[in-house]
């Protein structure tokens, strides 16, 4: 394929049928905007130049395109007057000529694609451009054979199979509407021909627009070759006009991603309930259980088991880890670690090798060392927990004083009891321990035991005197509770020390 390749991506349409404040081509599928998928396919062609035509909501679309492809030239189509007009605007942006005739920046092959075709692949575009160049066509059409061609432009051929024209649905005769070969809208041009033909496109049609497809007739009139190449996977050329089509293409895209990973050695128990974004990376022998979503740039190493009912976004999961019924974002789970069920890993969570974050635990901006465990019903925020340490059930890391966040540090092989509160900033040394119900407000030295609760007081007969006539009192009486002591009398004391 020629190195002199220009790709024009049309993304100026309003997308009114989406009924959205978000521009149509910015709606996401599989973790990327629709136009993001198209630009990825375009980049795979290694073009010399890329022009994106923007119009409606260009303040949204332009910066998004630039963030994905900084080298792309943005051409503004203020009024949407059809595809022919859009491509002329693109050529003018490259040549710097309102006449579009200098050709100083447009040479070789020009491919025109659309920003709302998220299934399109770089391989298909490269093959199409190569066929166009091999046949030395002035114009080539990426076509498709469909069972229900309603709404599409038809590729009209003569008895010898040569392309005569593309006729839009509104302009087609009843006989032409029976044609099953449709124009995808993706076209390839000889650049010299395109620059010369664009000013000669008229708008004498049902919509009063400048159709790029009229270049087919212009090429035929000049005795030049026109080609049409049906793509085997016609779904790649499907565009999106409303949210029903968006959902349909999202399902199709996801099915393709899931199928690819299964063929590469990933076990996916229920493909229908598993959603995987385009940029996710899975190693061999990963197992994904039903109801799982792997989003963003999530990476899962070999032998890890994810799910069921788990959502991970931009997470890194180590080899052999097990993540069950978890919601996680921007978190790292080390090799052979366990998370869940019903855990919430917020950004900045890092769980070391062989560590555990158990049921109903929320973590945020915390490093939990190798072999350390936070097994039950806890909140760990802005903390460093050393290797081998065990955090007791119901523990709260109180990291916020109402103004600023503060950090708690727990040393190696420490043992903290249930229902502790660590009031940050505070540090617990290696091998230290805490008693049940302790509120830790000051540093605990290595090897020390910290307790903050006073001696237990037991007041005998309290239920019979203070709750007389209640089910509580009747239960106590039936159990033989003695009527002893006076209110406030401590019949038994217990010293936790």
- Residue 453: its pLDDT value, please? 80
pLDDT mean over 175-189: 95
pLDDT digits (tens, 9 = 90+) for 403-454: 999 999 999 999 999 999 999 999 999 999 999 999 999 999 999 999 998 8
**Residue 497 confidence (pLDDT) above 60:** no
- Residue 207: its pLDDT value, please? 79
- Residue 38: its pLDDT value, please? 98
pLDDT digits (tens, 9 = 90+) for 255-282: 999 999 999 999 999 999 999 999 999 9
- Residue 313: its pLDDT value, please? 98
Question: pTM to 2 decimals?
Answer: 0.89
**Residue 177 confidence (pLDDT) above 90:** yes
Both tokens assigned to 382: 């802005």
- Residue 238: its pLDDT value, please? 94
**Residue 496 confidence (pLDDT) above 50:** no
pLDDT digits (tens, 9 = 90+) for 192-251: 999 999 999 998 877 788 989 899 999 999 999 999 999 999 999 999 999 999 999 999
- Residue 13: its pLDDT value, please? 84
**Which has the higher per-residue pLDDT, 170 or 183?**
183
Backbone region of residue 30 per phi and psi (left: phi > 0; alpha: psi in -120 to 50; beta: other values): left
- Residue 485: its pLDDT value, please? 54
Do strands 408-410 and 383-385 pair parallel, antiparallel, or not at all (unpaired)? parallel
pLDDT mean over 311-334: 98
The whole-angstrom separation of Cα 276 and Cα 258 is: 7
- Residue 455: its pLDDT value, please? 85
Cβ atoms within 10 Å of 423's Cβ, excluding its own:
16
pLDDT digits (tens, 9 = 90+) for 303-320: 999 999 999 999 999 999
Cβ atoms within 10 Å of 160's Cβ, excluding its own:
5
* Residues above pLDDT 90, as percent of the chain: 84
**Residue 380 confidence (pLDDT) above 90:** yes
pLDDT band of 488, cuts 50, 70, 90: very low
pLDDT band of 492, cuts 50, 70, 90: low
CA dihedral 384→390→391→397, nearest 10 degrees, is -10
Q: Minimal CA–CA distance to 124: which of 144, 146, 139, 145? A: 144
Q: Which long-range contacts (CB under 8 A, 24 or more apart) does 98-106 make?
A: 99/199, 100/195, 100/198, 100/199, 101/195, 101/196, 101/199, 103/191, 103/192, 103/195, 105/49, 106/6, 106/49, 106/191, 106/194, 106/195
What does the mean pLDDT of the chain come to?
A: 93
- Residue 205: its pLDDT value, please? 76
The whole-angstrom separation of Cα 169 and Cα 464 is: 89
pLDDT digits (tens, 9 = 90+) for 61-106: 999 999 999 999 999 998 889 999 999 999 999 987 654 444 456 8
- Residue 105: its pLDDT value, please? 63
Both tokens assigned to 354: 């062989």
Domains observed in the chain = 5-237 (3.90.550.10), 264-450 (2.160.10.10), 457-494 (no CATH)
pLDDT band of 457, cuts 50, 70, 90: confident
- Residue 486: its pLDDT value, please? 47
The residues that are catalytic are 376
- Residue 386: its pLDDT value, please? 97
The whole-angstrom separation of Cα 369 and Cα 45 is: 45
**Residue 494 confidence (pLDDT) above 60:** no
- Residue 278: its pLDDT value, please? 97
């Amino acid at each position: 394929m020629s190195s002199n390749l220009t790709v024009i991506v049309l993304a100026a349409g309003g997308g009114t049928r989406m009924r959205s404040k978000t521009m149509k081509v910015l709606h996401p599928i599989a973790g990327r905007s629709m136009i993001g998928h198209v630009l990825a396919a375009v980049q795979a062609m290694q073009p010399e130049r890329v022009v994106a035509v923007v119009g409606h909501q260009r303040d949204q679309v332009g910066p998004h395109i630039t963030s994905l492809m900084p080298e792309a030239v943005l051409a503004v189509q203020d009024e949407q007057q059809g595809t022919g007009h859009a491509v002329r605007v693109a050529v003018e942006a490259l040549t710097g000529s309102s006449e579009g005739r200098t050709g100083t920046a447009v040479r070789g092959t020009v491919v025109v694609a659309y920003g709302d075709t998220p299934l399109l692949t770089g391989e298909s575009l490269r093959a199409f451009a190569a066929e166009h160049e091999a046949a030395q066509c002035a114009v080539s059409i990426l076509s498709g054979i469909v069972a229900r061609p309603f709404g599409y432009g038809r590729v009209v051929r003569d008895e010898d199979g040569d392309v005569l024209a593309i006729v839009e649905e509104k302009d087609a005769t009843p006989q032409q509407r029976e044609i099953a070969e449709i124009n995808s809208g993706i076209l390839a041009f000889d650049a010299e021909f395109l620059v010369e033909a664009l000013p000669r496109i008229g708008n004498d049609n049902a919509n009063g627009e400048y159709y790029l497809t009229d270049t087919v007739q212009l090429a035929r009139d000049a005795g030049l070759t026109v080609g049409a190449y049906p793509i085997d996977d016609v779904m790649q050329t499907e565009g999106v006009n409303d949210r029903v089509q968006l959902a349909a293409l999202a399902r199709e895209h996801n099915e393709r991603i899931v199928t690819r990973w299964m063929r590469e050695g990933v076990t996916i128990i229920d493909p229908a309930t598993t959603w995987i974004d385009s940029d996710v990376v899975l190693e061999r022998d990963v197992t994904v259980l039903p109801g799982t979503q792997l989003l963003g740039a999530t990476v899962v190493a070999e032998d890890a088991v994810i799910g069921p009912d788990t959502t991970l976004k931009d997470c890194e999961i180590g080899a052999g880890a097990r993540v069950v019924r978890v919601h996680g974002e921007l978190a790292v789970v080390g090799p052979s670690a366990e998370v869940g069920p019903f855990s919430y890993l917020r950004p900045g969570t890092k769980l070391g090798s062989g560590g555990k974050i158990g049921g109903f635990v929320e973590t945020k901006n915390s490093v939990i060392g190798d072999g350390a465990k936070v097994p039950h019903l806890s909140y760990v925020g802005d903390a460093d927990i050393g290797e081998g340490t065990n955090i007791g059930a119901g523990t709260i890391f109180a990291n916020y004083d109402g103004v600023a966040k503060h950090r708690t540090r727990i040393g190696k092989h420490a043992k903290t009891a249930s229902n502790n509160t660590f009031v940050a900033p505070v540090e617990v040394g290696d091998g230290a321990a805490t008693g049940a119900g302790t509120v830790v407000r000051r540093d605990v030295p290595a090897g020390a035991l910290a307790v903050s609760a006073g001696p237990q007081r037991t007041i005998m007969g309290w239920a019979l005197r203070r709750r007389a006539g209640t089910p509580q009192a009747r239960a106590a009486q039936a159990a033989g509770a003695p009527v002893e002591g006076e209110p406030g009398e401590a019949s038994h004391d217990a010293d936790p020390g």
